[in-house]
Amino acid sequence: MKKNLFLVSLSLLFCGCAGEFNKVLKSQDYDYRYEYAKQCFAQGKYNNAVTILQDMITMLKGGENAQESLYMLAMAQYMSGDYESASTTFKKYGSSYPKGIYAEKAAYYVGESLFESAPEPRLDQTPTVGAINAYQTFLDLYPDSKLRPEAQRKLFELQDKLIMKEYLSAKLYFNLGGYFGNVNANNESNYSACIITAQNALKTYPFTKLREDFSLLIMKSKFQLAENSSEEKMIDRYRDAEDECYGFINEFPDSENKSLAERYIAKCKKVIKD
């Protein structure tokens, strides 16, 4: 019996809340609707706040609540997990009120919204690039902001994600090179693609913590190109591979792959000498 009474009370409470919300949506009293939206936001009812504010933004434009309402809408979208809409609304605030009282936080949360929607490294990284650009814009506009350290940390984290995508692409090319057998145009093309991808990544991110990993892929790919070469290209490619091996050892003298580089050098010398 007590359980049934509790369920009835809960149902009445829900209906009452839903009824009040619908009443607010139909009300022509914009101050009442706006205050209710603020109450919903404060109580963590972000979807309700979004629903009310979206319908009122145009009406409030130019009024005393215009800035606050637009920023609150963006924050409600962000807090409800609608990061795409949030980034758009934060950008809208920035363009509408570049000197506004929430301009700094709006600029920061453009990056935050895109950061939250950035995918894993194997997927398309367009949102990641957008987030990096947004954080960089924020850092340029507000160099003394208290949010600067966090923006920098996340910017570096996003850059690491782009680097990892390049590494996974280079590694895939290397693995595909071996898949096609010893003498094959596709084989050479994939090893060459691995080298180009890894070299470009090192040019773009010279201080990456994956520098040795990229360098190892370049060395291994050049050796495999030499191993799979036609007669007219073989000697030049072994020389190139040998130089790459020496470069690897010089840059990473304590690498666990040093012995592999030394084995490659021995093979290169033997072929070149013969």
Report helix, strand or coil for 77. helix
Return the minimum-mean-pLDDT range out of 62-71, 98-107, 128-137, 173-182: 173-182
Geometric angle at alpha carbon 117, from 114 and 118, rounded to 5°: 85
Return the minimum-mean-pLDDT range out of 129-138, 238-247, 265-274: 265-274
Provide the percentage of residues in the chain whose pLDDT is more than 90: 72
CA distance 154 to 128: 11
Provide the percentage of residues in the chain whose pLDDT is more than 70: 88
CA distance 26 to 258: 74
pLDDT in tens, 122-140: 888 999 999 999 999 999 9
Bigger pLDDT: 6 vs 24: 24
Go through 253-263 and write b for each residue having 16 or more CB atoms within 10 A of its CB, e for each that does not.
Answer: eeeebeebbee
Place 59 in a pLDDT band, splitting at 50, 70 and 90. confident
pTM of the model: 0.78
CA distance 236 to 246: 16
Q: How far is CA 97 from CA 57, 111, 114, 136, in A?
A: 14, 18, 20, 19
Is the pLDDT at 93 greater than 50, yes or no? yes
CA distance 131 to 125: 10
| Residue-level pLDDT at 213 | 98
> What are 34's two structure tokens?
């706006």
Is the pLDDT at 12 greater than 50, yes or no? no
Place 16 in a pLDDT band, splitting at 50, 70 and 90. very low
Chain center to CA of 172:
21
Q: Report whether 248 contacts 261 (CB < 8 A).
A: yes
> What are 174's two structure tokens?
């290397």
| Residue-level pLDDT at 55 | 83
- Shortest CA distance to 213 belongs to which of 243, 266, 174, 156? 174
Is the pLDDT at 187 greater than 50, yes or no? yes
Q: Across all residues in the chain, what is the average pLDDT?
A: 89
Is the pLDDT at 212 greater than 70, yes or no? yes
> What are 264's two structure tokens?
């490659």
Other Cβ atoms within 10 Å of 44 Cβ, number: 12
Would you tell me the crossing angle of helices 66-79 and 103-117 to the nearest 10 degrees? 20
